[in-house]
Amino acid sequence: MVPTSRLVQEVFMIYELALVAKPEATDQEVATLKGMVHEVVKAHDGEVFIEDEWGKMSFAQPTTEGIGNGHFVYFIFKANSSNNKELIRRLKINDLHLRHMFIALGEDEEREAVVKAYKTPFSKTYKGSVTDKEGDDDHDNPKKFARQKSCYFKSNNLKANWKDPATFTWLINEFGKISAARVTGVSRKHQRFATTAIKRARQIGVASYVSNRIADLRA
């Protein structure tokens, strides 16, 4: 009889991994860290679709240990839960590792759309923002939609994303407080999306908890 555990097929999903190495890490050490990610993903029958080095950036807010910057590397890959567990284990015992964040982006069938949609102002290779549009700038001005009490995200077919500060910085005031939907006109659904994006940006160091500051590429 085949054990029940063998009958359970591993489900592959598309994930993103934001990885931050300590500021004192050399280029070779960062390359070694990136190589480890590729090694683990390959060992678990996964596949890396995007490896994007953002470079050394100043955090929007220093860590509790007073660290002000780090080397940011970003991945999109296909993997199963066993792969991610092994990656987390290795990162925790790696002296170069400072922060990391895994996010599920969708099912394996959605890989093409996920990869095609990737862009961020922090990247040199995939530089850009989903808010970049030709035409009337006023049409895409969030303040205009707030005055009309209509949802900026729904009207422009956008969704807040932690990698794309242009999609959420206008929702954060100078003290780091997220503006209420009744003030901005954002729908309840998109307010949840925006809040999640801001929390993720804060977790990895892209956004500040106490101000509206964003990570700076000029570390």
pLDDT tens digits for 185-219? Answer: 999 999 999 999 999 999 999 999 999 999 997 65
Q: Report yes or no on 4 lying in a domain.
A: no
Q: Report yes or no on 46 lying in a domain.
A: yes
Quick check: 59 and 133 in contact, CB under 8 A?
A: no
Q: Which of 92, 75, 7 is nearest to 41 (CA)?
A: 75
- Residue 20 maps to which CATH number? 3.30.70.60
Query: Are 89 and 34 in the same domain?
Result: yes
Query: Are 53 and 93 in the same domain?
Result: yes
Query: Are 113 and 148 in the same domain?
Result: no
Confidence of residue 8 (pLDDT cuts 50, 70, 90): low
Per the structure, the count of domains in the chain is: 2
Q: How much is the pLDDT for 9?
A: 63
Q: How much is the pLDDT for 46?
A: 96
* Angle at 63 (CA atoms; ends 61, 66), nearest 5 degrees: 105
Q: How much is the pLDDT for 202?
A: 98
- Residue 194 maps to which CATH number? 4.10.640.10
> Can you tell me which residue has the tokens 């900026």?
152
**Domain interval for residue 156:** 137-204
Measure the CA–CA gap between 97 and 30, rounded to whole angstroms: 9
- Residue 122, SS3? coil
Query: Are 88 and 145 in the same domain?
Result: no
Query: Are 102 and 151 in the same domain?
Result: no
Q: How much is the pLDDT for 51?
A: 98
Q: Report yes or no on 219 lying in a domain.
A: no
Query: Are 44 and 109 in the same domain?
Result: yes
Rounded to an integer, the average pLDDT of 148-153 is 88
